[in-house]
Amino acid sequence: MKQLYFGDCLDILKDMYAKYPQGFIDLIYIDPPFNSKRNYNILFEDVDMTDTKAQREAFADTWSNVSYKDELLLLADLNFDLYEFLRILDKINISKSSVAYLTTMAVRIHYMHEVLKETGSFYLHCDPNMSHYLKLICDLIFGKVNLRNEIIWCYYGPGSPKMKQFNRKHDIILWYSKGKQWTFNVDDVRFPHSEKTKQNYKPGLIGSGFKEADHKIHKLGKVPEDWWSDIAIAARSMKERLGYPTQKPIKLMERIIKASSNEGDLVADFFCGCGTTIAAANKLGRNWIGADISHLAIKLILNRLTDPLQEAGKKKFLKDIEIDGFPKDIDSAKQLAKSDELLEKKSKHGAFDFQHWVVEFLLGGIRNPKDVADGGWDGYITFLKNNKEKGRVLIEVKSGNANVTNMRQFVDVINKEEADIGVFVCFAEQVTKPMELRAKEAGKYKGYKFDRIQILTIEDMLDDREIRMPGGVDASTFKQSVNDVRPEDKPPEMF
């Protein structure tokens, strides 16, 4: 199983539990938002081609003071002790935002516990801001006796010259087993002893209690303590860094996956972000499930897994995985477009989900920072003109009716914005001869045989047709992955 889900993991987990009430996942790792009350942004090439970078919010690590009430009531039927604990927190001097965060996490962790196998393991990555509360929640769900380790991941980094406290440079990873039996591949996570220890641990130098079996085990290396200072934070590895705000190093995930699962096991991450868990699981020959509420994250994960592949290998891999939550065919694409139209009639600004799917997922572009109505543009892509200069492709997406007036307006926008190429996106049935004629009248892109104004239908994109531009896409939402995450023992074009 290799599957990505776009959507709220609570809905996904409820569906999974309904199908597999006995549990079916071997290992769950999550690195959810920490309730830091920060807005996390990703950086990408600015549409104005200035030296500055544009920002796009990846997620806001803030929590509603109202919406959690429904989930708190849900817990009353699922785990009454957990409900009582959170209800008491809600009455004392703890911020409503914190209670909202803890309630949101508690419901989801409850269902994660349910979908684990009896021999499964659960890892929760958090920081000292909420770790003490989350540990109590996990005790109430998994049972305190099933806490296997509280792991401290230590890393390094600069602090502020005006700091009046010690530099905060560690995260906490809580590891719980579901039951009394669990996987721990101790030999897979050993690392070499120091040279001094190696010298002191030789036959003949150790007392009469020394056994040859002890020497063989010692040669395998040292078992890590529950504090890890040997894995650098991802930001220090520019080769690994993808631009996602809370990215963790792949070596961290490899250690957890090697320790608590076996080849062929199913590993899941329900807050998968840029997909480090998925990349590590794939590389280590595990099956995997990834879920995230951001479609940008799903797009990034697909890029991360396929960027190192040749075209044939990329197409094969994409056929082997399932993506749930996005349109899979033209009928579901039309349904998404229709939903947008209904929402736009009710709301001044509309939902724009269809536009986001087209611009950021299908085309790998950047959404216009300001959602606009007809007569503007919905997204853009940059490309290399030459070694020094970049060009712009502006994208207009029509979810409803499209006509020659829309095309004329878009051509005017391309000229006004001095963009290099314009791409008009709609359904095939909406394309008319006058629209095609107006696009052709804009001429070819200078020095090339393709049109400056291109009509690209949803049907085209579902059939893998792409925008025609010089040099290909250069600055998409995220930096390309350069790490190959194919299983190490598989042939080059296979996953």
Rounded Cα–Cα distance for residues 438 and 436 (Å) = 6
pLDDT at 160: 75
Q: Which CATH class is domain 2-189+226-324?
A: alpha beta
Nearest by Cα to 300 from 269, 321, 273, 268: 273
Cite the beta strand spans of 102-247 per DSSP E: 116-126, 147-154, 170-177, 227-228
Nearest by Cα to 374 from 350, 348, 406, 399: 406
| Residues of the chain under the 70 pLDDT cut | 34-66, 197-218, 234-245, 340-352, 369-375, 472-495
Rounded Cα–Cα distance for residues 171 and 154 (Å) = 7
- The pTM assigned to this predicted structure is 0.79
Q: What is the mean pLDDT of the chain?
A: 81
Read off the pLDDT of residues 136-174 as tens digits, 9 standing for 90 and up.
999 999 999 999 999 999 988 777 788 888 888 899 999
Query: Which CATH code is given to the segment(s) 330-475?
Result: 3.40.91
Rounded Cα–Cα distance for residues 470 and 39 (Å) = 35
Cβ atoms within 10 Å, residue 230: 11
The token pair that represents 2 in the structure block: 């290799």
Burial 186-224 (b: 16+ CB within 10 A, else e): eebbbeebeeeeeeeeeeeeeeeeeeeeeeeebeeeeeb
Q: What are phi and psi of 53, to 5 degrees?
A: -110, 140
Q: Where are the domains of the chain?
A: 2-189+226-324, 193-223, 330-475
The helix (H) or strand (E) run that includes residue 258 is: helix 250-260
Query: HSE (CB half, 13 Å, CA atoms) of 466?
Result: 11
pLDDT at 314: 76
Read off the pLDDT of residues 364-375 as tens digits, 9 standing for 90 and up.
888 886 665 556
pLDDT at 350: 37
